[in-house]
Amino acid sequence: MTDRYAVMGNPIAHSKSPRIHALFAAQTGQDLVYEAILVEPGGFAAAADAFRAAGGRGLNITVPFKQDAWVYADRLSARAERAGAVNTLVFGTDDVLGDNTDGLGLVNDLERNLGCSIAERRVLVLGAGGAVRGVLQPLLAAAPASLTIANRTAATAAELALMFGDLGRVYGGGLDILDGKRFDLVINATAAGLTDEVPPLPDDLLADGAWCYDMVYGDRPTAFVRWAHAHGAAHAVDGLGMLVEQAAGSFRLWRGVEPATAPVLAALRAG
């Protein structure tokens, strides 16, 4: 019997996850189908219940439902527990496991695919939502010199800094805390990227040789990638590699096999 998987979010029509998992399945000989499902605000639990009742084996979760999925799961992996956000649900016979492969995907893309070492770099993360919660622990495990979280709502960033402060030098606040500071790696995880916008950032934010990474991806350079190039970034990339790497983590959880990500990423870049 063909196993069913899906990604749920809003918006979702742009998602490349169905193609990624179809390529993984073909590569590894797995019998599965994977679809994208639009879920209305407030409707996540009912949609997940319906998918599971219809025989679904697992879900990926994207914005804005990662914290809803954290609540929905019966049990959580250690990294999902810490993050307070879930991007992968595994439907077992008796319960639902919630995990988070976002941070693993980000770090693997930066360090393995792109050759950007995080250790000893001054890292800035823009945003403080569910996507950020999922990547902070893996980022800090990579031993940056410091990690700053900046968000339009200062209190949310400050709260995250307190939550993860035992893992390294973590600072949090509003966008105003960026004045006069320079960073080696800037990661954009704001919702502004979904509407092709950029948060208001200082012109002198980037250190010499800085990397800029946008968690959003698109068929053309994102607004943040364009901003980065215009402000002297040595490297500016979108989040397509993170998408493929976090998908590989989910696929491994569901199927127990490790797909090769390089050929899938190359296929997506080629269109």
Nearest partner of 148 among 130, 160, 131, 166, judged by Cα: 160
Residue 192 is predicted with a pLDDT of 80
Residues of the chain with CATH 3.40.50.10860: 3-99+242-270
- Residue 69, pLDDT score: 97
39 φ/ψ angles, rounded to the nearest 5 degrees:
-120, 130
Residue in 66, 79, 133, 255 annotated catalytic: 66
- Whether the CB-CB separation of 255 and 118 falls below 8 Å is answered with no
Q: What is the dihedral of CA 249, 251, 254, 256, to 10 degrees?
A: -80
Identify the pLDDT of residue 194.
73
Residues of the chain with pLDDT under 70: none
pLDDT for position 254? 98
The CATH number given to 3-99+242-270 is 3.40.50.10860
Q: Does domain 103-237 have CATH number 3.30.70.260?
A: no
Q: Is 250 one of the annotated binding-site residues?
A: no
Q: What is the pLDDT of residue 271?
A: 80
Q: Is 16 annotated as a binding residue?
A: yes
- Whole-structure pTM value: 0.94
User: 104 — alpha (psi -120 to 50), left (phi > 0) or beta?
Assistant: alpha
Distance CA(249)–CA(144), nearest Å, equals 23
Region of 40 (left: φ > 0; alpha: ψ -120 to 50; beta: rest) is beta
Q: Is 181 annotated as a binding residue?
A: no
The pLDDT of residue 219 is 84
Question: pLDDT per residue over 13-41, tens digit each?
Answer: 989 999 999 999 999 999 999 999 999 99
66 classed as catalytic: yes
The position carrying tokens 């980022």 is 139
Q: Is 67 annotated as a binding residue?
A: no
Question: Which residues of the chain are in CATH 3.40.50.720 domains?
Answer: 103-237
Tell me how far apart the alpha carbons of residues 94 and 199 are, in angstroms, rounded to a whole number: 44
